[in-house]
Amino acid sequence: MESDTYSLFAQAIWNINEAWEFTAGARYTDDDKEAEQGNVYVKSNDLGIPGLPGFGFDDILSPAGAVIKSDFDDTEVSPEATLTWRPDENITVWAAYKNGYKSGGFSTNTVLSAAATGPGLTFEPETAEGGEIGVKSTLMDGMLRLNATAYYYKFDDIQISVFDSATTSFSVDNAASATTTGVETLRISSLRSTASPPAVGTVQSSRGLLNLRISRMCSISAMKATRPKAAPMPTCERKTVRNTEPKPRCSNHR
């Protein structure tokens, strides 16, 4: 497999005034990949004995020595922007928009099936888009720190590992989409005793709430092999998975 990847990132910061700041940036990514795959050895059905049937994998595996070629070429621009407000030196409030990109590529299966094709072994890029708002604060003359963040992100073409029972191997494929929303909080309290000399310690606690939803989960590699490049992705069965369980954590440091 050969891979050439180029990336360029640029960012600009605008200090609107003493309290407000705006930051914008973008990352450009260019991916060019090629791969050749094949089975080195496949047990034949023919035992070489006339009239005696054999057992092998000729019917389910790609022939030994056959080369399957795949190529992947893609460009992506991932922008981001953040607006920050600092009413004083102890409080920071921000709102951010973010966009992420995870490159596509090829499944390097341990064994290739007879139905394997170049497009079928290629998985698409995974993208994420969303944003967050949050606050960081230091209170009570530095004795208390409170942070909180709320976020929402949507993921498209999620890359997942899929098990192929025919070849007993794993490959990478794309699920349709998922969304995640959540809230995270952090509290750090400083403690000081009245002893001489005073003993200093901290108590830290955090809490998170996550809501995950996965929709239209399906395997699409077989359909990609025959789908025209400009055609839309096939419609898949819609499934939903939710997880809203809070996850408190508490730790003491002295």
Residue 153's pLDDT is what?
Answer: 95
Q: For residue 222, which phi and psi values (nearest 5 degrees)?
A: -65, -35
pLDDT confidence of 79, banded at 50, 70, 90? very high
In the beta sheet, which residues pair with residue 207? 185, 248
pLDDT of residue 56: 60
Q: Which of 52-66, 157-171, 220-234 has the lowest mean pLDDT?
A: 220-234
As a whole number of Å, the end-to-end CA separation of the chain is 52
**Closest by CA position to 81, among listed 26, 136, 154:** 26
Q: Which residues contact 78 (CB under 8 A, 6 or more apart)?
A: 26, 27, 29, 99, 100, 101
Which candidate, 92, 82, 86, 95, places its Cα nearest to that of 13? 82
pTM of the model: 0.71
Statement: residue 167 has pLDDT above 80: no
CA separation for the pair 212, 142 (Å, rounded): 35
CATH superfamily of domain region 2-38+71-253: TonB-dependent receptor, beta-barrel domain (2.40.170.20)
- 185 vs 232, more confident: 185
What's the average model confidence in pLDDT over 101-121?
Answer: 81
**CA atoms of 233 and 227, how far apart (whole Å):** 8
Band (pLDDT 50/70/90 cuts) for residue 192 is low
Q: Is the backbone peptide bond immediately before 197 cis, with ω within 30 degrees of 0?
A: yes
Amino acid at 163: F
Tokens of 172: 């990478």
- 19: pLDDT strictly greater than 90: yes
Contact 153, 128 (CB under 8 A): yes
**Percent of all residues in the chain with a pLDDT value above 90, rounded to a whole number:** 31
Q: How far is CA 126 from CA 135, 154, 178, 206, in A?
A: 29, 11, 11, 30
pLDDT above 80 for 244: no
State percent of the chain over pLDDT 70. 73
pLDDT of residue 163: 78
Residues of 114-125 as b/e, b for ≥16 C-beta within 10 angstroms?
bebbbebbbbbb
